[in-house]
């Protein structure tokens, strides 16, 4: 590394970059330049230690973060291959494309995304005569994720899984029907969902030691960003890979662990020094983002958490602005105050795009939107449907995937989109043929193509469409394939007839995305490679508009972002911390989430809450987080009177008592419930607010909502 590059780092960052050997833990506070440390350390390994880039693995959590890291590293080291700078899931795809053949899976497996899961479930529900009143898709997906036996999936053929599925159908409990129905459809298509990508990789590593050794020897240096967010499987993966060279460099902030609901475990970074030998720990607490006033508030709040590594952030900036807190009588008055402050900032030459309003949950945006519309202030909500999950985009991607795989999931989505006269009865005919012949639905369609019930449809045109597209695929660019499918399928024409310009614009944007991929990978970009890249994209990778508007978003969405001016609103007990909290561990995570929200602000921070009624008609009180911050650090617009403050503390005491009680009685979906009169049943849904459960009893046809007694 050149001296000029080293000089761009502060002394603490320099130490981290130059430490190259062994197990190293960097506790990097918010805004402390952790990405800079990672990228400069990578450059140091390549330029000064002469390590090939193909020997360095650098993993993070979103495609957006991985791409940013690639760009920064290329600016430092030039146009080297950076294939192993990726997300965990992308890296596992890389491993599986090279080694999944050991499990008798094709190299060109496809990835099942969330929409595909629902497509499979619809098919299974119909097959088993189930509805979402038996079990919701969300709970079904959760159950599958927790109970799928990967060994069984890998080692069984479709015939063996079909037998298990048929046995499950004979049981009144819907859970195993759904589980084995899902596995059956998945195995038929050689599809892997997101969970499977890491599961399959770990299975290969456990059972094929030569393959594990190959990857261990290949990857001399392993670096992990946002280590506080790793799940157990991700932790095991990097532990395996680092066993040979024993070079594992992790960066993270335990105070920003906010994703336990998707598997993150804070203890992996907290206990890292106990799990590996001779761990060196360094702390980065010099903050380049926020003013000291904002950091003092963040430090004061997070100090209330017990399960953490102590550190206090200190600001590089010398500016000082008071952190404002206001308590209002109604949500409308809270919104009016926020708008008033926004107008003040605008008069001080602030741009709307520099202002963010953060909240704990989506429903908090309603009154804000009403107020901003009335005030004629432009705003953008950063939530909703991801680009690649929009119906028209998903439809055409399914056309492209079907061209490659002829899979049942894509077939069911596109066979009658646009309308081809192939309705439910004709689909049943095709499905029966597929079941009788153990073949795909497309093969069954071809077998029945001259059957009377299909001759008056456009089934033959459908088959001709893909016969022609297959020939084009050998020589044409992907953009040409897309254009062919859009026009010859009739899909684009149908949207034009409907005058649906927004959907047409989305398809134009899809074409633009393929053009961008082709410019990056070259015109020889394979369809399989493109589809796998797209399947790995998440909501967090969504393009954000640069229009001059206020940004409204949940705190989870704001993670990793920063804004000059931040309003953190709806700071009420039951909203933030959430009424869903049922343990002290979850309460600490809510506090970490508040810490993340506070540290998004660069120059000014505004905190607010309002009185009113909660969903259960209880009175709303200020969040405990306001009371936990040293009052000397806040400028109060409205002082909380002592009586109201005491009522707030009493409410917090009641909630804490409830939390401690529910910790002792924590019922999980899928658990068995024994009722004195109704008999044995399975818990389908559980509402911890009123301690009620929706239970499907073995001897009763419909599920029953009952009060669960401790």
Taking 90 as the threshold, does the pLDDT of residue 14 lie above it? yes
- Give the DSSP per-residue string, 113-136: -HHHHHHHHHHHHHHHT--TTTS-
pLDDT per residue as tens digits for the range 559-608 = 989 999 999 999 999 889 988 888 888 999 999 999 999 999 999 999 99
Q: Which of 344, 256, 345 is nearest to 298 (CA)?
A: 256
Q: Of 136-145, 397-406, 500-509, 590-599, where does mean pLDDT reach its minimum?
A: 500-509
pLDDT over 50 at 541, yes or no: no
Q: pLDDT band for 127, please (50, 70, 90 cuts).
A: very high
pLDDT surpasses 80 at 119: yes
Return the ∠ at Cα 502 (arms to 500 and 505), rounded to 5°: 110
Q: What are phi and psi of 131, to 5 degrees?
A: -135, 170
Burial state string for 381-404 with b = 16 or more CB within 10 A and e = fewer than 16: bbeeebebbbebbbbbbbbbbbbb
Rounded CA-CA distance 424/434 in Å is: 15
Is residue 563 within a helix (H) or strand (E), and if so which, with residue range? strand 563-568
- Per-residue pLDDT of 599-615, as tens digits, reads 999 999 999 999 987 76
Reference 564, options 381, 351, 341, 379; nearest CA is 351
- Contacts of residue 617, Cβ cutoff 8 Å, sequence gap at least 6: none
458: Cβ–Cβ under 8 A, 6 or more apart, which residues?
420, 421, 422
CA dist 403 → 387, 396, 482, 509, 527 (Å): 22, 11, 11, 21, 9
Find all residues with CB under 8 Å of 498, minimum gap 6, and list them: none
Q: How confident is the model at residue 367 (pLDDT cuts 50, 70, 90)?
A: confident
> Sign of dihedral through CA atoms 620, 564, 70, 389?
positive
Which residues are CB-contacts of 155 (< 8 A; sequence separation ≥ 6)? none
Continuous H helices in 148-193 = 150-155, 158-169, 174-189
pLDDT at 662: 54
Nearest to 280 by CA among 612, 576, 25: 25
Q: To the nearest 10°, report the CA torsion of 665, 668, 673, 678.
A: 110
Model confidence at 647, pLDDT cuts 50, 70, 90, reads very high
Sorting pLDDT into bands at 50, 70 and 90, what band is 385? Answer: low
pLDDT reported for residue 579: 83
What residue ranges in 195-242 does DSSP mark as E strands? Answer: 221-224
pLDDT band, very low/low/confident/very high, at 544 (cuts 50, 70, 90): very low
Number of Cβ within a 10 Å radius of residue 556: 18
pLDDT for the residue 545: 45
Of the candidates 38, 10, 598, 593, the residue with the CA atom closest to the CA atom of residue 285: 10
The per-residue pLDDT for 2 is 54
pLDDT for the residue numbered 509:
78
Q: State percent of the chain over pLDDT 90.
A: 62
Give the residues across from 247 on adjacent strands. Answer: none
**Contact present, 408 and 188 (Cβ < 8 Å):** yes
pLDDT for 480-502, tens place per residue? 999 999 999 999 988 887 667 77
Model pLDDT, residue 452: 79
Beta carbons of 629 and 301 less than 8 angstroms apart: yes
What pTM did the predictor assign? 0.78
Element (H, E) at 603: strand 601-610
Question: Partners of 280 in the beta sheet?
Answer: 24
CB 48 within 8 Å of CB 2: no
Identify the CA nearest to 441 among candidates 141, 123, 176: 123
């Amino acid at each position: 590394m050149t001296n000029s590059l080293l000089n761009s780092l502060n002394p603490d960052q320099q130490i981290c970059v130059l430490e190259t050997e062994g197990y190293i833990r960097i506790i990097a506070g918010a805004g402390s330049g952790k990405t800079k440390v990672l990228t400069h350390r990578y450059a140091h390994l390549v330029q000064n230690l002469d390590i090939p880039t193909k020997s360095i693995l650098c993993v993070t959590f979103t495609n957006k973060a991985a791409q940013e890291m690639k760009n920064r590293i290329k600016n430092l080291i030039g146009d080297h291959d950076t294939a192993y700078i990726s997300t965990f899931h992308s890296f596992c795809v890389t491993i599986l494309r090279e080694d999944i053949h050991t499990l008798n899976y094709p190299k060109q497996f496809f990835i099942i995304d969330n929409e595909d899961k629902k497509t499979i479930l619809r098919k299974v529900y119909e097959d088993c005569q189930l509805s979402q009143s038996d079990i919701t898709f969300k709970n079904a997906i959760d159950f599958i994720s927790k109970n799928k036996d990967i060994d069984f999936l890998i080692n069984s053929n479709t015939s063996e899984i079909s037998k298990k599925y048929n046995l499950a159908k004979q049981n009144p409990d819907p859970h195993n029907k759904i589980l084995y129905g899902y596995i059956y459809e998945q195995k038929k298509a050689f599809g892997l969902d997101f969970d499977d990508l890491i599961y399959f990789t770990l299975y290969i590593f456990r059972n094929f030691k030569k393959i594990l050794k190959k990857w261990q020897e290949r990857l001399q240096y392993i670096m992990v960003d946002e280590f506080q967010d790793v799940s157990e499987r991700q932790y095991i993966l990097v532990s395996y890979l680092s066993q040979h060279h024993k070079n594992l460099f992790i960066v993270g902030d335990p105070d920003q662990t906010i994703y336990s609901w998707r598997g993150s475990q804070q203890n992996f970074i907290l206990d890292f020094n106990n799990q590996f030998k001779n761990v060196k720990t360094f702390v980065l607490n010099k903050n380049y983002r926020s003013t000291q006033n904002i950091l003092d508030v963040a430090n004061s709040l997070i100090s209330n958490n017990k399960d953490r590594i102590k550190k206090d952030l200190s600001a590089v900036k010398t500016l000082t602005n008071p952190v404002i807190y206001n308590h209002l009588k109604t949500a409308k008055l809270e919104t009016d105050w926020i708008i008033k402050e926004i107008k003040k900032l605008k008069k001080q030459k602030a741009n709307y795009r520099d202002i963010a309003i953060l909240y704990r949950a989506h429903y908090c945006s309603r009154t804000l939107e009403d107020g901003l519309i009335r005030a004629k202030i432009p705003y953008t909500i950063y939530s909703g449907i991801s680009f690649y999950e929009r119906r028209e985009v998903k439809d055409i991607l399914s056309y492209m995937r079907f061209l490659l795989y002829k899979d049942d999931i894509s077939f069911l989505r596109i066979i009658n989109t646009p309308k081809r006269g192939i309705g439910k009865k004709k689909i049943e005919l095709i499905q029966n043929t597929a079941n009788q012949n153990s073949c795909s639905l497309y093969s069954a369609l071809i077998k029945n193509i001259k059957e009377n019930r299909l001759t008056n449809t456009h089934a033959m045109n459908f088959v001709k469409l893909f016969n022609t597209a297959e020939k084009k695929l050998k020589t044409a660019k992907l953009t040409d394939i897309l254009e062919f499918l859009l026009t010859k399928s009739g899909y684009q024409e149908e949207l034009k007839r409907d005058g649906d310009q927004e959907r047409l614009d989305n398809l134009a944007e899809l074409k633009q995305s393929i053009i961008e991929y082709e410019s990056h990978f070259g015109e020889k970009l394979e369809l399989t490679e493109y589809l796998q890249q797209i399947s790995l994209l998440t909501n967090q990778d969504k393009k954000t508009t640069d229009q001059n508007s206020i940004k409204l978003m949940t705190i989870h969405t704001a993670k990793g972002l920063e804004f000059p001016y931040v309003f953190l609103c709806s700071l009420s007990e039951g909203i933030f911390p959430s009424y869903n909290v049922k343990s002290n561990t979850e309460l600490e995570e809510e506090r970490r989430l508040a810490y993340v929200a506070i540290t998004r602000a660069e120059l000014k921070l505004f905190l607010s809450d309002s009185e009113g009624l909660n969903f259960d008609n209880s009175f709303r009180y200020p969040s405990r987080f306001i009371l936990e911050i040293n009052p000397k650090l806040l400028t109060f617009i409205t002082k909380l009177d002592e009586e109201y403050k005491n009522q707030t503390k009493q409410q917090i005491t009641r909630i804490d008592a409830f939390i401690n009680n529910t910790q002792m009685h924590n019922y999980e979906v899928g658990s068995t419930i024994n009722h004195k009169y109704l008999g044995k049943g399975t818990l389908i849904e559980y509402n911890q607010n009123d301690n009620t459960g929706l239970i499907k009893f073995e001897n009763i046809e419909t599920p029953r909502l009952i009060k669960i007694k401790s």
